Structure 1
Amino acid sequence: MAWDLVCDDKWKEPFTTSLYFFGVLIGSGGSGVISDRFGRKIVLFGSMGVQILFNLLITLSPSWEIFCLINFLRGIGEVSYYVTAFVLGSEILQKSIRVTYSTLGIGCFYAVGYMMLPFIAYFVRGWRMLILILSLICLLYIPLWWFIPESPRWLLSKGRVKEAESIIRCMAKKNGITPPPVLFTDDELENIQNKQVKSVPVTQLIKSRNILVITVISALIWMIIAIGYYGLSLNIPNLHGNDYLNCFLFGAIEIPSYIASWLLLRKCPRRLSHAGILALSGGVLLFMNLIPSNLSILSTVLVLIGKMGNAWAYCMVYVYTSELYPTPLRNTGVGVSSMASRTGSIISPYIVLLGSYQEILPFIVMGVLMVFSGIVVLFLPETFNIPLPDTIDQMQKVKWCKCSHSDSTQTRETNVVILKEEML
């Protein structure tokens, strides 16, 4: 960094990173609303354009204060294209390959980009020029505008039937399928409109004790996983060995994580597998405290195993959390949990800062938190091979959280409120 962020100004380095993640927190709260309002495709490419703009502006920062401001704004825009790409792909692709897209598709390509970053940084040492080159690489996205369609589901929800039919017919042609002359009858269109799930107030998450407990546990798990993921990534400069090689390995280790997540999500119970992965990841980091300082290679290997387990858990928690909530509360519940993870990413730079006092301290803190989250997962209900709940009454119950008569009454009242909102 060009502003000598050392000694008395050392606090500015983690503050800069936390400010960026604070921008991501704000962006995650509004990206879904904007995407639902203006469409998946335009928000996806629009956020990419905004990202390129702020990346170019940040290279011109004359001071640390201006750098922080632009970095904060960059964080607001960055989350939109990842989340929107996830939603767009899920709505376009058929059900049989949605899980594959969500794990192997997005995850593996993210890991490949992670692996390319240290390779580019090795040859471009100045941070301004590095950001400039990464921004110019993003211009390669522009031709994709003519290949990626808008979500037909979103178009139908907005009453833009002709556009949706045109996209579906184009898809059928590319797949060698002859579509019927009429894709949607008037009754089918009316049924599609009636089935659109509307967002409900976040206060519905505290109307029932069972929902409240699930929400609190899920948010806690998401926050701890984010602390571990970003904490380990940001702690690369404090590891032994070459920083560029370590960064490359941190990206490469995520590929087997996503493959394993895909396999586990298809075959294994959610609760036990998730708890085991978190406990293993945290236990490996705690075991590092017993490794002699002269065995630096072994320490790096253990950190890589911890990172693999953390990325593994991060990939699985999206699916597990979405299966816990009923349809009317699913977007709201996952959204609250996601915002909790942004809080964890804000905290993570300060966990890394503990390494300046004692090298092993960040690993001890993250290890304890991950083992604790692995224990907490066991309190959640199992969702494997259980149909997704459509109403609050169909939700799995937390065994140790017995619902009182007042909770049952509140659940019925909540269902009535949701039904009324869906009828409006």
Structure 2
Amino acid sequence: LPFLIGSLLLVPVSLWIKNWKTIQLLIAVFQTLSTLLYYLIPESPRWLIASNRMREAEIIIRRACNVNRTTLPPNLELIKHPEQQQWIKSGKKPNLFQILKSSEILTRTVVISVLWVATLLNCYAVLVCLADALNSERTVVDIDFFLRNTILGALELPSLILCLLISRYTVMNFFLALLAKTLAMTSLYTLCLFTVELFPTVIRNSAVGICSMVACIGVGIASYMRILSMVHFARYPSMVFGLFSLLSAFLVLLMPETRDATLPDSCLDAVVL
């Protein structure tokens, strides 16, 4: 939803500010200010419990209950995880290097990273193709630049809705194929949820960050695919996008099913998922 709102807000900002450098500067200022949210957003109680920080987790849970006007018993009896005693005895804490210690989690990270690259490659490729089609002199639809970007940004909304409905109604798969951009963005949102469900709580944020960082490769490749189609064979980009999509379809079969499964909190929970 924030991505949708940001896409739609960019249109009136572009109408108000004509200089693209000023727009980039304004976006950078907002991104810099967003780092201050680190001190305002409370830590995840689930992560605190998995990290053996029970007291902090209880404070946040009780604060949330006060906001929701609900009551809790005096003793929450927060459950500790089996791996916590091992961490306490060794004096260590779970960190990102847990990915390298487990072959199962490492394989999962590599596969998910490839899926992120392929998904974002196709997402941005669709955007480039849509922009080329609408900007082409041969197009039969004369659409204003700002109206066009408003429509493309508004397509994020059905993507979000379909992402929620797809888990309940399998017939929605047919409608996903009707709009290329909606399908691509829905795949991206679903991949985000799937990535979160695969990694344990203790390293989830770091693992998702790594996958997102690697996915930037797909964004960079998508820009050069357009140049490649102009210089060499025009069908090269379509072939690359198709091969990446097929590769992703086979690789996702290696991943465990997470439907109706409890989110893993420890590395052991993630391995036996």
Matched residue type, 2:94: K
Deviation at 1:277, TM superposition (A): 9.3
Q: Which residue of 1 aligns with 2:23?
A: 130
Residues 103-150 of structure 1 show CA distances to partners (whole Å, capped at 9, x for unaligned) of: xxxxx2211211221231123111232234445666986997896434
Of 390, 394, 406, the match for 2:272 = 394
Is 1:198 equivalent to 2:94 in the alignment? yes
Deviation at 1:255, TM superposition (A): 1.3
Change (3 A) 1:375 1:140: closer
TM-score by length of 2: 0.67
User: Is 2:123–2:181's contact at 8 Å kept on the other side of the alignment?
Assistant: yes
Distance between the aligned counterparts of 2:74 and 2:101, measured in 1?
43
Structure-to-structure mapping, 1:272-421, within 5 angstroms? 280=177, 305-323=179-197, 337-357=211-231, 361=235, 364-365=238-239, 367-369=241-243, 371-373=245-247, 375-377=249-251, 379-380=253-254, 383=257, 385=259, 387=261, 390=268, 394-395=272-273
Structure-to-structure mapping, 1:5-84, within 5 angstroms? none
Higher relative contact order (CA 8 A, sep 6+): 2
User: Is 1:222–1:317's contact at 8 Å kept on the other side of the alignment?
Assistant: yes
Is 1:238 equivalent to 2:132 in the alignment? yes
Q: Which residue of 2 aligns with 1:118?
A: 11
Distance between the aligned counterparts of 1:277 and 1:378, measured in 2?
22
Q: Which residue of 1 aligns with 2:160?
A: 258
Identity across matched positions, percent: 24
Is 1:227 equivalent to 2:101 in the alignment? no
User: Is 2:198–2:258's contact at 8 Å kept on the other side of the alignment?
Assistant: no
Change (3 A) 1:349 1:181: same
Distance between the aligned counterparts of 1:190 and 1:378, measured in 2?
29
Q: Which residue of 1 aligns with 2:67?
A: 174
Distance between the aligned counterparts of 1:221 and 1:190, measured in 2?
31
Q: Which residue of 1 aligns with 2:141?
A: none
Distance between the aligned counterparts of 1:379 and 1:237, measured in 2?
33
Distance between the aligned counterparts of 1:385 and 1:183, measured in 2?
28
Deviation at 1:310, TM superposition (A): 0.9
Deviation at 1:354, TM superposition (A): 2.8
Change (3 A) 1:306 1:374: farther
Change (3 A) 1:154 1:377: closer
Three-state SS of the structure 1 residue aligned to 2:222 is: helix
Aligned residues: 254
Distance between the aligned counterparts of 2:67 and 2:126, measured in 1?
43
User: Is 1:323–1:383's contact at 8 Å kept on the other side of the alignment?
Assistant: no
Residues 336-376 of structure 1 show CA distances to partners (whole Å, capped at 9, x for unaligned) of: 54444222223222123235448965762454245424642
Three-state SS of the structure 2 residue aligned to 1:265 is: coil
Three-state SS of the structure 2 residue aligned to 1:181 is: coil
Q: Root-mean-square deviation (CA), in Å?
A: 4.6
Matched residue type, 1:203: L
Matched residue type, 2:44: S
Residues 264-300 of structure 1 show CA distances to partners (whole Å, capped at 9, x for unaligned) of: 23555xxxx6xx899x5xxxxxxxxxxxxxxxxxxxx
Distance between the aligned counterparts of 1:124 and 1:177, measured in 2?
47
The structure with the greater share of residues assigned to helix is 1
Unaligned runs of 5+ in 1: 1-107, 281-301, 396-424
Change (3 A) 1:165 1:231: same
Unaligned runs of 5+ in 2: 88-92, 136-143
Change (3 A) 1:234 1:359: farther
Distance between the aligned counterparts of 1:393 and 1:379, measured in 2?
16
